[in-house]
C-alpha cells in the first residue's frame, strides 16, 4: 500500500476529504521527523515507538582495496519498535 491508497482507505472509512487527510498525514510525518531530529521519541500507545539510535564508529575495509582499512563514522538512524497490540494483530 502506498500513501495515495492509504488516503483513499481512510477517506472511505471516515467520509473526510482526501485533501484534508493528505494534509494530516503530511503533518504527522513532519512532526515525527522533527521530534526525532530533536532527539525525542514519539510513542503511540499500543501501536509503537519511533526513536533514533546512534551507531558506533567502527572500522571497515575499502572495497576497492581490500588491504586498506577505513573508518566508518557513527550516524543517527531512525528506529521503530512495534507496540504490543500491533504485534498481536499481525500475528493473527
**For residue 76, what pLDDT is reported?**
94
pLDDT in tens, 31-69: 999 999 999 999 999 999 999 999 999 999 988 888 899
DSSP string, 35-53: HHHHT--EEETTTEEEEEE
**For residue 89, what pLDDT is reported?**
94
pTM for this prediction: 0.78
- As a whole number of angstroms, the distance between CA 55 and CA 74 comes to 5
**For residue 80, what pLDDT is reported?**
97
Q: Is 8 exposed, middle or buried (0-12, 13-18, 19+ CB in 10 A)?
A: middle
**Percent of the chain clearing pLDDT 70 (strictly above):** 100
**For residue 65, what pLDDT is reported?**
85
**For residue 16, what pLDDT is reported?**
92
Amino acid at each position: 500500500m502506498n500513501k495515495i491508497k492509504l488516503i483513499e482507505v481512510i477517506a472511505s472509512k471516515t467520509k473526510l476529504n482526501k485533501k484534508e487527510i493528505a494534509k494530516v498525514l503530511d503533518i504527522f510525518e513532519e512532526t515525527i521527523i522533527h521530534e526525532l531530529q530533536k532527539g525525542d521519541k514519539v510513542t503511540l500507545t499500543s501501536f509503537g515507538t519511533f526513536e533514533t539510535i546512534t551507531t558506533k564508529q567502527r572500522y571497515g575495509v575499502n572495497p576497492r582495496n581490500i588491504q586498506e582499512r577505513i573508518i566508518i563514522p557513527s550516524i543517527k538512524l531512525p528506529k521503530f519498535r512495534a507496540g504490543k497490540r500491533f504485534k498481536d494483530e499481525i500475528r493473527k
